[in-house]
Structure 1
Amino acid sequence: MTLFTMFAHRKESDLFNTCRYLLGNLKVNFTNSGLSDTLHNHVEYPSLLSIKDTLFEYGIESAAIEKGPHSYEAFETPFICSIQQDDWPRAGFTVVTRAENGQIDYLDPLTNKLKQLSVEEFEKMDKHIILLLDTATPKHEVHFSANKKRERDRMLVKRVPLCLTLAAIVFAAGHLFSQPVGTYTWLGAGFLLFSFLGLAVSSLLIWNEIDAHNPFIKEVCGGKGKKINCDAVLSSSRASFMGISWAVWGFSFFAAFFTTQILFPGNIGFLLLWSVISLLVSPYIMFSVYYQWKVVKQWCPLCLAVQVVLTANTTIAAFCLSGSAALSEGFALYPVAVVILVGLSFLLLTNAAIPELKSARDGRDYEKKWKKLRYNPEIFEALLDKSERVTAPVDGLGIVVGNPRATHEIIKVCNPFCGPCAKAHPELEHIIHTNPDVRLRIIFAVSGEGGDIKTRVVAHLMAIQQECDTVKMQSALDDWYLAPVKNYDTFAQKYPMNGELSEQSGKILAMRDWCETMKIRATPTIYVNGRELPDSYRVTELKNFF
């Protein structure tokens, strides 16, 4: 894949491309940001499990199996598997769209385009783990419209710097050619073009300094051959000068160069000054090439691209300085001062920013590792075992939502006007809707006195459970807890009850007695399989265990 192609198609992970292709073919409404966030926020990302759980969020159930001796034609397409060619640094996930007549159609992880191979050739790449998919009931992304608007806003913000840069180039070029066109006009246009190209390439080198493991950077930096390795060059002993990496020097050089060309297009003083500077730095071209060739014996594609740009600048500088009458008059103080101040500013800011950006990246990595440890089921169970246990029986108490024969039970002790209880409600509903082996038991902590509005609401909810089906019960809970303003009269009109309300006093008193026995002092109090949820965990985190 060429560098231009990779810039045109922003490198995404093969996991993202696989899921995006599958959802697109199923006509599912989704946003790239929503899909990407779901994948990247998964504790096991990047893995087949992260794909499995992400697709489940879009209504696609799946099961991973070993291929074994079965033929590909025996599996219903589409299915997902992992493949790796000899020159790939790691395996990539792909979606197989067709497997018949000895041919396999699959999504190439590198080009993100459909490709066809014979079964024999595909078999050599396949890792023999297949994720079978049930695509019968896909569902659209939750909050799709809001996510789409947010994604458009983000895209506009991200495009602003590029648009401003391109606009600056256009205005600078327009100013150059609005004057009588001469030698200095073309030389100025050349400096403008190559300073921009140098800035673009050196920006990738800075990106490599910050995150060398980024898939896009790794592809730009090679890996296609034994002699191509950016890391070997950029981490070598001569990869810095005065304690500052050559990547930072290069970026600062081109940033200052490009900035002055934008602000002072065609200015003879700046053209002459940068011509002299370009000639002064030209020996670095030979040093870099020789160092990669003879010392490190590895090639850095980005470093070579920088040398090409420097060579072009040196050529332009030679034309600019040859027979220039202005050079004999010396340099004006203003261009020299501007270049020094701008250059030093970029140098100091870049050198200071890189450690901070590295720390931010490392912080995200550490957070992911911490979450992986935190959401380990064995650790969670060990912490649960140390928590307070439910000592009073709960049979017949409260409202049970979900499969009554489920293996796991979550108890939520709450009151109907508790704000945190309302926030916990959709999180727990999501768990029981996506996992039939979990049920939710809601126990209300209220006084049981007739004049208490909380008691009246609970009596109404208990009456609905007694008289109505599960669907209406869940609907009533949603209407109450998700309402922005909780008005009992409005709720009672929507779910009218008569004498059933007076029949609930015994149930309410039983829940009150249970809460007193368990010494419930705050709501919501959550119990998981008879043990209190540890203080260090939140309700929103329970989805990582069920």
Structure 2
Amino acid sequence: MEKTVATFLSHIGAPVAEAHCERLIRTHSDFPALVSISDAFERLGLQHEMSMVDRAELDALPYPCLLHTEADGGDIVAIRKPGDVAANQEALAFWSGVIIQVDPQPVLAVQERIGAYKRQQFSRFLVMALALTGVLTTVYGGLRLAAQAPSAAVGAGMGGLLVLAAAGGAIGYFLLAKDLGIKYSSVENFCAVEGNAKTDCNRLLNSEGASILGVLKLSEAVFAYFTFQILALYAAVLSGVLYHEAQAVFLALSLLALPVIGYSVVYQYAIAKTWCKLCLLVDAVLLAQLGISVVLHQLQPVEATALAPVAVLGFALLLGAVLALTVLGKGLLKEYFTVIKSEAEALRVKGSVAVFKHLLQFTRRITITPFTDEIILGSPEAKLKLVLVLNLHCQPCKEHFQKVVDAIQVYPREIQIALRFVLSGRDADISPTSVHYLIRYWRENIQGQPEQTQRTVRLLQDWFEDMDLERFKQKRVVDFSVPDSHSEQLSLAHRQWILREHITRTPALFINGYFLPQNYTLDDILAMTQELIYSAGKEEVAG
């Protein structure tokens, strides 16, 4: 469900990181209900509309859109073009009638979404750079092999073996990805079951025949086998003296692969009675390598007496090491994905409003009598009232404040956040202090002005850019030659309240007078905002 939504947003051009979107949906306390998608879109700053449509209008839907089905407790079908309706008839048999339309252009500059998207784009750039490096390295290796060969024909054959090894390694990676549950749309489309065609990659790869002795999976064997070949050929290229040993290893492995190819074809045809396209590609690569190895042997026969036993043993140990690393690495990745799944389930429990309110009752309650001229972000009429205590010289407070900005943007009428400030040790011998200077500037230039919340946010962002009072004075000028006792008293009120309530760490967050339970953050509050607002409409949170 969450993967379908994230992929759909990417398809329509929304600047959203797929992993970030998936996490917002998957960890929602009501997942897989529709509200988990709706709340995620709000957190991402995306305008969307959910409506009911009669089944008779199914073929006249606006594209692109998402359709909600009631299969497996709730699922999503992405409709990107008219033909997708016909292609998903089986899934749409459970269609609930709900259609979701999304505007790909965000209406809010949510920094959490922007940061996640930038990280995704950078990761994709690194993947492309890595792929290009692999292609260039393969070309370089092929040219070096050709240059070291006794003849052009032999050089071309060794280069062909390297290219085939790289192709086999790529197929092995996709097989590993399928085992780990990582999906690539191109691979899924290639493996898709069409009509009455007797092809089903998933069924075959999950069968008993797709393993060696019930221990080594086909994906592990394929990836390790071709990765070893690539490393062996590069060892020959870099050493300049292992050319014949590499040729001998390839010939031996190709001959040993012949019965494997036969078993693969017979198993698919006679036992499983279905074909795996990826497995057939592996068979094709193995056959091509066998043909090249045999031709190379005819052009330049491999003589056992000319081989260095130490080099052959080294290749054998390399094969074992690559195989071991592949199996162990895949096992670690499986454990990691299991932990991620368990974390999502735990976060759904943590994000339950009932659980949160229960824990809230056991936290310390403080007195939050509003100050005269309180610095408040959001709507005064909001039902969800938060107090955020910040240290103006604290890096975590800076990061927390940016999340506050996102919260106010996403829920401008539902959340009110009062800001209170701890006096930093850096202000011990300074007059005016950073807190006093900031409060006075706010009172003289922002309080009561149009767009007060937005201007207050920009004020704090300017401060947190450097967290240096002297530089801040150059940007935001205040004339302290004119006395203002009210600003000084308000600064003192902040300090006295901090001491009276024994607040010893920052950032500190309070919700409707209660200290936030341990291990809860502002992110968790944002995930529960809609439910908390609904709850607050009926009764005070935890009251």
TM-score normalised by length of structure 1? 0.75
Change in Cα spacing, 1:346 to 1:244, as seen in structure 2 (3 Å) is same
Structure 2: where are the runs of 5+ without partners?
530-543
Match of 2:536 in 1: none
> Paired residue for 2:133, among 145, 155, 164?
164
Residue 60 of structure 1 is matched in structure 2 by 46
Structure 2 residue 34 is matched with structure 1 residue 19: no
1:79-90 residue pairs with structure 2 within 5 A? 80-82=65-67
> Which residue does the alignment assign to 1:487?
469
**Unpaired segments ≥5 residues, structure 1:** 1-11, 25-29, 95-105, 109-113
Question: Compared with structure 1, are the counterparts of its residues 170 and 458 closer, same or farther at alpha carbon in structure 2 (3 Å cutoff)?
Answer: closer
How far apart are the structure 2 equivalents of 1:186 and 1:501?
Answer: 86
The equivalent residue for 1:196 is 166
* Structure 1 stretch displaced more, 158-167 or 233-242: 233-242
Determine the C-alpha separation between the residues in 1 that align with 2:262 and 2:333.
32
Query: Which residue does the alignment assign to 1:5?
Result: none
Superposition map of 1:245-394 within 5 A: 245-264=217-236, 267-321=243-297, 326-327=302-303, 331-333=307-309, 336-391=312-367, 393-394=369-370
Q: Distance in 2 between matches of 1:117 and 1:222?
A: 17
Q: CA deviation at 1:418?
A: 5.4
| Match among 439, 463, 467 for residue 416 of structure 2 | 439
1:303 CA displacement? 2.2
2:407 is aligned with 1:453: no
Give, in whole Å, the separation in 2 of the partners of 1:416 and 1:328: 75
Equivalent residue runs for 1:170-185 within 5 Å: 170-175=139-144, 177-178=146-147, 181=151, 184-185=154-155
- Cα distance in structure 2, aligned partners of 1:247 and 1:181: 36
Name which of structure 1's ranges 525-534 and 306-315 shifts more when overlaid on structure 2. 306-315
Residue 360 of structure 2 aligns to a residue whose secondary structure is helix
User: 1:501 is matched with which residue?
Assistant: 484
Report the Cα offset of residue 441 of structure 1. Answer: 1.9
Q: In the TM superposition, what is the alpha-carbon distance from 1:19 to its structure 2 partner?
A: 2.0
Amino acid at match of 1:20: S
Distance 1:365 1:509 in 2: 48
The answer to which of 405-414 and 165-174 deviates more is 165-174
Residue by residue over 1:193-231, the C-alpha shift from the partner in whole angstroms, topping out at 9 and shown as x without a partner, is 33332222222223334x135354655554546751435
Deviations 1:360-411 (A, max 9, x none): 2222222222222222222222221222224564475732322111111002
| Identity fraction in percent | 17
In the superposition, relative to structure 1, how do residues 362 and 289 fare at CA in structure 2: closer, same or farther (>3 Å)?
Answer: same
In structure 2, the CA distance between the partners of 1:133 and 1:319, relative to structure 1 (3 Å rule), is: closer
Q: Is the 8 A contact 1:172 1:262 kept in 2?
A: yes
Closer, same or farther: CA 419–82 of 1 in aligned 2, 3 Å:
same
Q: In the alignment, is the contact (CA less than 8 A) between 1:273 and 1:331 conserved in 2?
A: no
Bigger mean CA deviation after superposition, 343-352 or 65-74: 65-74
**Equivalent position of 1:230 in the other structure:** 202
Show the 5 A alignment for 1:463-478.
463-464=443-444, 468-469=448-449, 471-472=451-452, 475-476=455-456, 478=458
Structure 2 counterpart SS, 1:358: helix
Whether the 8 Å CA contact 1:81–1:93 is kept in 2: the answer is: yes
Letter in 2 for 1:36: E
Give the aligned length. Answer: 504
* Bigger helix fraction: 2
For residue 80 of structure 2, what is the aligned residue in structure 1? 107
Q: Would you say 1:214 and 2:186 are equivalent positions?
A: no
Specify the SS of the correspondent of 2:466: coil
| AA of the residue aligned to 1:484 | D
Comparing 277-286 with 148-157, greater Cα deviation is found at 148-157
The residue number in structure 2 matching 1:97 is none
Which of the residues 502, 526, 540 maps onto 1:543? 526
Identify if the C-alpha distance between structure 1 residues 312 and 128 changes in structure 2 by more than 3 Å, giving closer, same or farther.
Answer: same
Counterpart residue number, 2:20: 38
- Name which of structure 1's ranges 488-497 and 166-175 shifts more when overlaid on structure 2: 488-497
2:225–2:319 contact (8 Å) kept in structure 1 = yes
What CA distance in whole angstroms lies between the structure 2 residues aligned with 1:294 and 1:482? Answer: 69
SS at match of 1:440: strand
8 Å contact kept, 1:462–1:504: no
Q: Secondary structure at the match of 2:107?
A: coil
Cα–Cα, structure 1 residues 83 and 262, in superposed 2: closer, same or farther, change >3 Å? Answer: farther
1:427 to 1:498, Cα distance in 2 relative to 1, 3 A: farther
Aligned residue type for 1:377: V
Q: Secondary structure at the match of 1:264?
A: helix
Greater RCO, 1 or 2 (C-alpha within 8 Å, sep 6+): 2
Q: Separation in 2 of the partners of 1:506 and 1:231? A: 73
2:212 corresponds, among 218, 240, 259, to 240
- Conserved in 1, the CA contact under 8 Å of 2:209 and 2:267? no
Q: 1:331 to 1:403 in 2, by over 3 A?
A: same
Judging changes above 3 Å, is the alpha-carbon distance between structure 1 residues 328 and 513 closer, same or farther for their aligned structure 2 residues? Answer: closer
Residues 1:517 and 1:139: Cα distance change in structure 2 (over 3 Å):
closer
Alpha-carbon separation, structure 1, partners of 2:289 and 2:142: 17
Selected match of 1:399 from 356, 375, 395: 375
